[in-house]
Structures are given as C-alpha cells and as structure tokens.
Amino acid sequence: MGGISVLLLMGILSAIFFIFLAIFIVIVIYQIITYIFESFAIMEMGKNLQYKVVGTAWIPFYNKYLLGKIAQHKVLGVILAILNVVIVITGIGSYVQNDLNAILFGSFLICVFASFILDSIIAHKIYTKAIGKYGDILTVFGVLTLGFLRPIFLFVVKNKIKS
C-alpha cells in the first residue's frame, strides 16, 4: 500500500515538473518570436529614417536604445537598455543564488515592471508619430495584452515612420 502512494506522488511531481517545463519552453519561444518581430521593425524604421547601420537592430539591449532614438527619446532608450541588462543579471542571479533569492527576485520583478512601462511609453511615441491619434488605441491594446501585441504593432507601423 505504501508503494502505491509513493508511485502516485512521484507521478504527480513529474507531471508538475513537465508542466513547468512546458510553460518555460512556451515563454522562451514567445520571447524569440517577439525579438524577431521587434528587431525587424526597428531595422525597417531605421532604414526609413536613413540610419547608417540598420543591422544593429539585431544586437540585444542596443536595440532598446535604437527604439528610444526612433521615438526621439534617447534617454528613455538608454534607461530601457540598462533595465534589460539588469533584468537578465537579476533573473540569472535569482536562479543561481539561494541565499539572496528574495532580494534578487524582488529587484527582477521591479525591473520587469519598469521595463514594461518604458517599453509602452516608447512604443506609444512611435505609434503616435506613425499614425497620429490612433496610436492611443494601439497603446491601450498593447497594455491590456501585457505587452504581447506591442512587437506586432511595431511591426505593423514600421513603414509609416519617415524622416
């Protein structure tokens, strides 16, 4: 009887592990897809604005600076790039360190929230520059979907940005 309960518990724990693994894989795939959409949109907007080297849109963290530059707010782009570096460092640190896990994870969450706000502000400035008053609607939908649609909206308005 005891062996059956152990087998049942092991089955439940392995099912939970596979559920978390599946969620992690879905998040990674989503991040890769949004990175591709956003980088391609930044590259096309850079071409339209006649930037010299548009291939830099594919450089991680630097593409956030380029987004700020496209929105004509370089300072916000620099802050966003730094926040994304801090997000990666605190995310890895909170996974590796067990002693400071709560502090690192708390800073990770704060940086993710601040990054979301800055991303939304920069995207709103780009939307309004591209399509005028309808940019507010795209911003609202971007925020309501927790940023899931933001890279797609940037991709859609990429050709409307002109120098």
Q: Which of residues 94 and 153 earns the better pLDDT score?
A: 153
Q: What is the pTM of this model?
A: 0.84
Q: 140 in helix, strand or coil?
A: helix
* Cα–Cα distance list, 4 to 8, 13, 14, 15, 127 (Å): 6, 14, 15, 16, 59
The confidence score (pLDDT) of residue 6 equals 64
pLDDT tens digits, 27-63: 889 989 999 999 999 999 999 999 988 899 999 999 9
Of 14-18, 70-74, 96-100, 102-106, which gets the smallest average pLDDT?
96-100
Among candidate residues 125, 117, 104, the one with its CA nearest the CA of residue 147 = 117
Whether 124 and 139 have beta carbons less than 8 Å apart is answered as: yes
Of 11-15, 45-49, 62-66, 85-89, which gets the smallest average pLDDT?
11-15
The confidence score (pLDDT) of residue 105 equals 81
Average pLDDT, rounded, for the chain: 88
pLDDT exceeds 60 at position 5: yes
The confidence score (pLDDT) of residue 97 equals 75
